[in-house]
Structure 1
Amino acid sequence: MKTYLSRFRFPDADAEWRFFAGLRRTCYDSYYPFQVLAPRGLHQLELEPVTILYGGNGSGKSTALNVMAEKLELERDAPFNKTGFFPDYLRLCSADDACPPKGSRIITSDDVFAWMLDLRSLNDGIDRKREELFGQYLDAKYADFKLESLEDYERLKTINAARRESQSRFVRGRLMDNVRTRSNGESAFLYFTRKITCDALYLLDEPENSLSPARQLELADFLLESARFYGCQFVIATHSPFLLAMRGARIYDLDADPPRPRPWTELENVRVYQQFFADHAGDFSHDE
């Protein structure tokens, strides 16, 4: 299994303090991404072929991924909350043994959502064009037309086609097919399988969004196979117990003080799931 990034360092509180001490202006409402990771004690990540960042909302998972992606200049599809302080912050970060191959990228929920909207927009445009062709067909079929010059030749061809063909054949011959419509979960899973190929570094921000439990398990299998057999390295921010349970993954608990690696079975959210099903164990007994 390959690693293209072995360690990533973020500025600690002292480094951030020295930066602020050198600022000439202080009239800022936000210094993002400063003052997010350092107060939580996240100074560095030791990375494996599969590394997972776990933590509650506001724990800094997405911030850490975005900082890493920008420092490594990874590809991305959708814009993100990049403030004017990002270049200053990135100068204080370092990446050991970093050699992300071409095609390495960060994938966020915004990327997946933007792709699904693009598909819907494409289909909407096809639908509008279809209606235009229906009108064009009827107009041409019953037109009172007489060829006056060579400039009318294209119009004559359209009229002859409309009178020779059925409406459906006329429209189908001039229109591309709709992109197959899928559920949000199916589209999201398809996006991951298309974007993740081989021999590259991928940062995934909560990839479980829109996915059913069965799809999350399928995604976990796909990611593990990509790491084991296709030379991929992953850094994943997630709450999903199905992804947290990926065999061999190093999991950082960003809710711990300081953040540290922990087994997935000791994580708070996983324990919440465990307690929930224990409380409802009697409900399942009726299924036997």
Structure 2
Amino acid sequence: MFLKGITLQKEKISSYQSYPFSIPVIKSLVQLHINSNVTFFVGGENGSGKSTLLEAIADKCGFHTAGGGRNNAYHVDASESPLADYIRLSWLPKVTNGFFLRAETFYQFASHIDQVGGANAAYGGMSLHHQSHGGESFLSLFQHRFHKKAVYLLDEPEAALSPQRQLAFLRILHNLTEDGNSQFIIATHSPILLGFPEATIFSFDNSNIHEVAYEDTDHYQITRGFLENRERFLYEIFKEDDE
């Protein structure tokens, strides 16, 4: 494990009225200690701050904030992190290898790789655009681009992964982290990914970042409740519409 902590440098902040400091969890952040090779950021709703913090970490690592590593340079509108200048990362030891995956801008990253001569060889020998929709290109990225002794930051990787491919990703995650030479921080809504053993889960709900058990996440409880009581769930949902 390499990245040990994230500190919000409050002395640099002049106002909490504007974004991103108006986000409750960012406003209340002092220091976040990272204790696992696999750490998840979860929040019940988009806008909870998990992607904002992950993007800032990526920026401080020197990764492209629209997706990529330290050597990827391409333009995407509004890809800068407004939070990066206000956080400090603690390392032991510091590593420079890694990658930031942002599902919503993956198309632009794939186009950038196509434009770099010979770069597709590092991604399975085929354009990421020419691999079947999302899921295959994401897994190709994980299998061919991700190596040991690096930090990987993933923002909602499940966006293009079927449940079966999410399970395949869990195997890749296990293979990369079992000897402690890779570290992952993942923002996700997926109850499948959250089930990775011995991971730390930080919830961004209730205005502060706090550690939660897998079984206590809304993602697990709602999914399990629906699968076990589908007819009752649907009845209650449709009943609200009828009213």
Q: Does 1:5 align with 2:3?
A: yes
The CA deviation at 1:109 is 0.8
Corresponding residue number in structure 2 for 1:278? 228
**Which amino acid is the alignment partner of residue 54 of structure 2?**
L
- SS of the equivalent of 2:159 reads coil
Find the aligned partners of 2:203 and 2:181 in 1 and give their Cα distance. Answer: 26
Amino acid at match of 1:214: Q
Higher helix fraction (1 or 2):
1
Letter in 1 for 2:88: S
The answer for the alignment partner of 1:261 in structure 2 is: 211
Alignment partner of 1:222 out of 172, 195, 214: 172
1:20 is matched with 15
How many residues are matched? 212
- Match in the other structure for 1:60: 49
Give me the TM-score of the superposition, normalised by structure 1.
0.63
Contact 2:215 2:221 in 1 (8 A): yes
Tell me if 1:102 matches 2:102: no
> SS state of the match for residue 14, structure 2?
helix
CA deviation after TM superposition for structure 1 residue 219, in Å: 0.5
- Quote the residue 2:29 is aligned against: 42
**Conservation of the 8 A alpha-carbon contact between 2:166 and 2:193:** yes
1:278: how far off? 1.0
Deviation at 1:10, TM superposition (A): 2.1
Q: If you compute each CA radius of gyration, which structure gives the higher value, 1 or 2?
A: 1
Normalised by the length of structure 2, the TM-score is: 0.74
CA drift of 1:74 comes to 2.8
| Structure 2 residue matching 1:201: 3-state secondary structure | strand
TM-aligned CA deviation for residue 101 of structure 1:
2.3
Uncovered stretches (5+) of structure 1, i.e. residues with no partner: 22-29, 123-176, 283-288
State the distance in 1 between where 2:126 and 2:63 align: 32
- 1:265 Cα deviation from its structure 2 partner: 0.8
Paired residue for 1:113?
A: 107
Q: How far apart, CA to CA, are the structure 2 residues paired with 1:225 and 1:270? A: 24
User: Structure 1: how far apart are the matches of 2:56 and 2:113?
Assistant: 29
- Match of 2:136, SS state, is helix
Question: Residue 86 of structure 2 corresponds to which residue in structure 1?
Answer: 92
CA distance 1:100–1:272, change in 2 (3 Å): same
Matches of 1:120 and 1:71, distance apart in 2: 26
Q: Give the Cα separation in 1 of the matches to 2:63 and 2:172.
A: 21
Cα deviation 1:47-86 (Å, max 9, x = unaligned): 1211110002111111001111112223543646345x83
Distance 1:257 1:31 in 2: 16
Change (3 A) 1:81 1:114: same
The DSSP-based 3-state class of the residue aligned with 2:152 is strand
Could you tell me how far apart the structure 2 residues matched to 1:235 and 1:252 are?
10
Who is 2:39 aligned against?
51
CA contact (8 A) 2:6 2:87 kept: yes
Larger strand percent: 2
Counterpart residue type for residue 15 of structure 2 = F
- Distance (whole Å) between structure 2 residues aligned to residue 72 and residue 98 of structure 1: 14
Residue identity in the other structure for 1:198? K
Aligned partners of 1:69, 1:119: CA distance in 2, in Å?
A: 19
- Over 3 Å counting, the alpha-carbon distance change for 1:220 and 1:281 in structure 2 is farther
The one-letter code of the counterpart of 2:29 is L
Query: Unpaired segments of 5 or more residues in structure 2?
Result: 69-73, 117-124, 233-243
Q: Whole-Å Cα distance in 2 between the matches of residues 66 and 49 of structure 1? A: 18
- Which whole-Å CA distance do the structure 2 matches of 1:68 and 1:178 have between them? 30
Q: Contact 2:99 / 2:153 at 8 angstroms: preserved in 1?
A: yes
